[in-house]
Structure 1
């Protein structure tokens, strides 16, 4: 398995380089320019120095190499105003001095904790809820529990998150009085720091609504795949043979059937994990979470091309990485799978 993992990692290097080139060209050659947001009152020589510091006048291959370089090294920039915490977003609104800008990875790292705390918690909660529901729904097919789970899953998966988020805000933030125990804030306070139990409780309360919105959406998808895979394996010969040998129903379902049913579910979970790091853009906008999704929207509005390209490229890296993780987990779940 180690040889397989190393071989896949080596293959991933040229794959990611090709992906990075495609991402760079799609964004770089698209209509628009970083100079479009610079006010007309800015002197022409200052505008020219801003464009030169961004490498806009360089050939395409030079801009591509500079884009790869700016992941890790500080580069000169004439305008600084990190209103959105991005590379040069809104920087032209206030020309200050010839300064330096941080690597884009560092800027994204400032937003990543908020995304991981909220979106990551929602995805973890969704997995913990969806797997038991999917397994039990398949085992008790057509029961009242299965019917209720199917209804909730269809509603959770078909209703968009922006609608669910707005409905929850209207119910728990507007209709319920602020002094009530069931009132929850609709805006996420990124400046909150956990120092005691009171601040910890405040953090949990402001996470409740976005976690509920994303948890319901992700749990609906994962539980449906789990149920479908379980139903397919419950009717297999090995399950009937295990029962005929006198094994308990719990051992047959949990140890044999559930383990074999996890292979397609692992694929869905692994491919969904990059969205945790990329941020749930719509949900972050609804609840004003200052995470990766908000950084991407701010960068798009400000024509902040390096940040747009970097977030997209990071998502591609995570997809390739978690595909490898899923392949390795296949071998752990099913001993019949060999990588030699």
Structure 2
């Protein structure tokens, strides 16, 4: 397993380099340029300095190398004298957002806690709801619980989150006045009172996202469980006198989790990427809202950086899923 992990990590390096090149070229060669955003009132010498600082006077491949190099700069001290894409002073260069004039990684660092708090909690709640529903629906196939679980999954997966979000706002916020409709991103958790206020305002967006995630994961869990409940090893375990609880939860569930782990692992990058639609509905100032704002403002450095971070997370969680396969099923060997 260790050899396989090292081999996959080494293979991920050229993969990510190729992905970064494709992302940079697609965004950099798209219509729109930082030079077009510079006001005409900027003096010519300042304009020239800004062009040189951003590397806009260099060939495309040189600009790509400069952009890629900035991901490995960890020096915290920098001077922001420029406007778009980088700083004009100091030895270190930082990727700057054209929209906010702040370093891209600083903007991401400010938005990420909001996204992880709301979207991460919703994903965890969705998993905790989906697994028991999927397991019991498969074990009691065609029962009233299975029928209810199927209806729940179909509704949760087919209804878009923007409709569910607005519906929840109308019911629970406007009519019942139970929860706020707008998420307060300035709230700081310092004591139990602020903690419960945070939980209170998270309720609606978490319910919307958890419903969608639970619907998908529960269907995969049910399908995988049904496939394994009829396998020979399950019948053999029952013939040996094992209890039904042991057969289902120890043997069948462990083998059934392999496709479920794939779905959960591939969904994890979306936790860091944010829920674009739901964040817009509830005014959550997270990564998804930052990406939408960057696209509207033609903020190429922000779009490039966020897209590449998503690609890194997808490659990473694919590796984690492959490692979990070997843990769940001892028959799987990579060495």
Residues in 1 aligned to 2:165 and 2:146: alpha-carbon distance in whole angstroms = 26
Q: After TM superposition, where is structure 1 displaced by more than 6 Å over at least 4 residues in a row?
A: none
Contact 2:98–2:301, Cα closer than 8 Å, also in 1 = no
Mapping of residues 182-331 of structure 1, within 5 Å:
182=178, 184-331=179-326
TM-score (norm 2): 0.91
Tell me, which stretches of 5 or more residues in structure 2 are unaligned? 85-94
Which residue, out of 50, 62, 78, partners 2:82?
A: 78
Residues in 1 aligned to 2:306 and 2:39: alpha-carbon distance in whole angstroms = 27
Residues in 2 aligned to 1:122 and 1:332: alpha-carbon distance in whole angstroms = 26
Tell me, what secondary structure is at the counterpart of 2:71? coil
Residues in 1 aligned to 2:9 and 2:100: alpha-carbon distance in whole angstroms = 38
Tell me, what secondary structure is at the counterpart of 1:67? helix
Residues in 1 aligned to 2:231 and 2:331: alpha-carbon distance in whole angstroms = 16
Q: Structure 1 residue 169: deviation in Å?
A: 1.1
Contact 1:279–1:292, Cα closer than 8 Å, also in 2 = yes
Q: Structure 1 residue 45: deviation in Å?
A: 5.2
Residues in 2 aligned to 1:46 and 1:200: alpha-carbon distance in whole angstroms = 48
Deviates more, 1:281-290 or 1:131-140: 281-290
Residues in 2 aligned to 1:186 and 1:45: alpha-carbon distance in whole angstroms = 49
1:130 aligns with 2:139: no
Mapping of residues 48-127 of structure 1, within 5 Å:
48-73=48-73, 74=78, 77-79=81-83, 87-91=96-100, 102=103, 104-127=104-127
Tell me, what secondary structure is at the counterpart of 1:191? coil
1:21 aligns with 2:30: no
Tell me, which stretches of 5 or more residues in structure 1 are unaligned? 81-85, 93-100
Contact 1:72–1:105, Cα closer than 8 Å, also in 2 = no
Q: Structure 1 residue 78: deviation in Å?
A: 1.8
Deviations 1:13-55 (A, max 9, x none): 0110011001100111111123444455555555554444333
Contact 1:87–1:107, Cα closer than 8 Å, also in 2 = no
TM-score (norm 1): 0.89
Residues in 2 aligned to 1:307 and 1:91: alpha-carbon distance in whole angstroms = 10
Residues in 2 aligned to 1:21 and 1:64: alpha-carbon distance in whole angstroms = 7
Contact 1:263–1:330, Cα closer than 8 Å, also in 2 = yes
Contact 1:161–1:217, Cα closer than 8 Å, also in 2 = yes
Q: Residue 289 and residue 48 in structure 1: after superposition, are their counterparts in 2 closer, same or farther (change >3 A)?
A: farther
Q: Residue 54 and residue 171 in structure 1: after superposition, are their counterparts in 2 closer, same or farther (change >3 A)?
A: farther
Q: Structure 1 residue 59: deviation in Å?
A: 1.2
Instruction: State how many pairs are aligned.
Output: 322
